[in-house]
């Protein structure tokens, strides 16, 4: 899976409370919530839900309400909860620019929602980025001035920006206590 998928994020939302597709859609379209991170079309939400149910991580149940069409409410199963914990505690989060933006932010969002401590999560992400940074720095030594060299410089600049942002991000989530 090279590209981040919303799967675990949806597990997190369902861990917070059982929901149906349309409701999830709202969360992903509100720019002050996950809309700031993912762009998801209607059908994609439902496709993910179907996939998660097939995996056995969630299960849906049709619910009749009296002022709207019937809906399918999904709730997390035990294996789903396990998968979610695994994701939140991923010891080696990806350090790819794209995935930090999408996956790490989602992890933070879900952790906050579930009152899951975020500090360890942030620390692991920083560690992963530092490792990647070191790797790129050794690569830099044998780099030429080709397009590959430019790409490498850009990549390094982006990772460094992320590392600085993570530090600020941490003080924002856990503000230093005043003396």
Partner DNA sequence: ATAGGGCTATTCTAAGATGGAATAGCTGCT
Partner DNA sequence: AGCAGCTATTCCATCTTAGAATAGCCCTAT
Residues contributing to the site for a copy of itself (CB under 8 A): 31-37, 97-98, 100-101, 105, 108-109, 112, 144-148, 150-155, 157-158, 160-162, 164-165, 168-169, 172
Contacting residues for 142 by C-beta, under 8 A, at least 6 apart: none
Can you tell me which of 31, 66, 145, 176 binds DNA, judged by CB under 7 A?
66
Window of 66-74, 78-86, 130-138, 152-160 that interacts with DNA by CB under 7 A: 66-74
Whether 87 and 8 have beta carbons less than 8 Å apart is answered as: yes
Can you tell me which of 32, 68, 172, 177 binds DNA, judged by CB under 7 A?
68
Nearest to 170 by CA among 114, 110, 104: 104
Q: How far is the CB of 156 from a copy of itself (least distance, A)?
A: 9
51 near DNA, judged by CB under 7 A: yes
Whether 93 and 124 have beta carbons less than 8 Å apart is answered as: yes
- Cα(117)–Cα(55) distance, integer angstroms: 27
């Amino acid at each position: 899976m090279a590209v981040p998928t919303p799967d675990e994020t949806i597990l997190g939302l369902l861990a917070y409370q059982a929901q149906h597709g349309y409701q999830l859609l709202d969360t992903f379209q509100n720019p002050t919530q996950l809309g700031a991170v993912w762009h998801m079309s209607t059908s994609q939400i439902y496709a993910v839900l179907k996939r998660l149910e097939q995996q056995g991580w969630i299960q849906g149940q049709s619910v009749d309400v009296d002022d709207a069409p019937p809906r399918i409410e999904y709730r997390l199963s035990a294996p789903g909860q396990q998968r979610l914990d695994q994701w939140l505690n991923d010891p080696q989060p990806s350090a790819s620019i794209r995935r930090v933006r999408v996956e790490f932010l989602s992890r933070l969002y879900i952790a906050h929602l579930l009152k899951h401590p975020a500090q360890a999560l942030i620390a692991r992400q920083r560690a992963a980025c530092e490792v990647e940074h070191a790797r790129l720095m050794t690569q830099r030594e044998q780099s030429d001035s080709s397009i590959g060299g430019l790409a490498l410089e850009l990549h390094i600049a982006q990772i460094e920006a992320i590392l600085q942002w993570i530090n600020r991000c941490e003080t924002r989530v856990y503000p230093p206590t005043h003396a």
